[in-house]
Structure 1
Amino acid sequence: MSTHHYTTLISATNLLLHAQPDWVIIDCRHDLANPDAGRAAYDAGHIKNARFAHLDNDLSGAKHAADGTFKGRHPLPDHHNLISKLQHWGISDDTQVIAYDAHGGMFAARLWWLLRSIGHANVAVLDGGLAAWQAEGQPLSTVEPLAAPGNISFKTPLVHSVNLHHVETHLINPKHVLIDARAPDRFRGENETIDPVGGHIPGAKNRFFKDNLLPDGRFKSGHQLQQEFGYLTSDPLHTVMQCGSGVTACHNLLAMEIAGMHGASLYPGSWSEWCADPSRPMTTGV
Structure 2
Amino acid sequence: MTMRYMSALTAAFLLASAAVTDPALAGGPVTPGAVVDADWLAEHRGEVAVLDVRRDLESFAGGHIPKAAPVGWDAVRTTRTIDGVERQKVRLAAETFQRLMREAGVDANEPVVITSPGKAAGQITTQARLYWQFAYYGHDDVAILDGGNAAWRAAGHDLATGPAEVSAGDYTAGAPDDSVLATVAEVDAARTNAGVQLTDNRPMAYYLGLEQAGYVYAAGHIPSAVNVPFTLNVAEKGPATLRDAESLRAVYAYQGAPMDLAAIAYCNSGHVSALTWFVMSEVLGNDDAQLFDGSMHVWTQDESRPVTNPARR
TM-score clears 0.5: yes
SS of the equivalent of 1:74 reads strand
Structure 2 equivalent of residue 60 of structure 1: 77
**Aligned partner letter, 1:125:** I
Between Structure 1 and Structure 2, how many residues are aligned? 275
Q: In the alignment, is the contact (CA less than 8 A) between 2:128 and 2:275 conserved in 1?
A: yes
CA distance in 2, matches of 1:282, 1:55: 29
Q: CA deviation at 1:109?
A: 0.3
Structure 2 equivalent of residue 218 of structure 1: 241
TM-score (norm 1): 0.86
Q: In the alignment, is the contact (CA less than 8 A) between 2:109 and 2:171 conserved in 1?
A: no
Q: In the alignment, is the contact (CA less than 8 A) between 1:91 and 1:152 conserved in 2?
A: no
1:246 correspondence with 2:242: no
Structure with greater strand share of residues: 2
1:276 correspondence with 2:301: yes
Cα 1:202/1:87, change in 2 over 3 Å:
same
Farther off after superposition, 232-241 or 132-141: 232-241
Q: CA deviation at 1:124?
A: 1.0
Farther off after superposition, 42-51 or 118-127: 42-51
Structure 1 equivalent of residue 201 of structure 2: 181
**Aligned partner letter, 1:143:** P
- In structure 1, list runs of 5 or more residues that go unmatched: 31-37
Q: CA deviation at 1:161?
A: 0.6
SS of the equivalent of 1:125 reads strand
Deviations 1:61-99 (A, max 9, x none): 3344484x232x311111222123223322234312111
Structure 1 equivalent of residue 152 of structure 2: 133
CA distance in 2, matches of 1:179, 1:250: 11
Structure with greater helix share of residues: 2
Cα 1:148/1:80, change in 2 over 3 Å:
closer
SS of the equivalent of 2:129 reads helix
**Aligned partner letter, 1:70:** E
Deviations 1:10-62 (A, max 9, x none): 11122112211x421111112xxxxxxx21222433222222222332x2233
Structure 2 equivalent of residue 17 of structure 1: 43
CA distance in 2, matches of 1:285, 1:142: 50
1:50 correspondence with 2:74: no
TM-score (norm 2): 0.79
CA distance in 2, matches of 1:258, 1:164: 25
1:81 correspondence with 2:96: yes
- In structure 2, list runs of 5 or more residues that go unmatched: 1-20, 24-29
CA distance in 1, matches of 2:178, 2:261: 13
**Aligned partner letter, 2:248:** L
Q: CA deviation at 1:193?
A: 4.5
Matches within 5 A, 1:222-233: 222-231=245-254, 232-233=256-257
Farther off after superposition, 213-222 or 192-201: 192-201
Deviations 1:246-276 (A, max 9, x none): 1111101111221222230111010111123
Structure 1 equivalent of residue 164 of structure 2: 144
Cα 1:194/1:54, change in 2 over 3 Å:
farther
Q: CA deviation at 1:236?
A: 5.8
CA distance in 2, matches of 1:70, 1:156: 20
Match of 1:154 among 153, 158, 174: 174
Aligned-pair RMSD on alpha carbons? 2.5
**Aligned partner letter, 1:269:** G
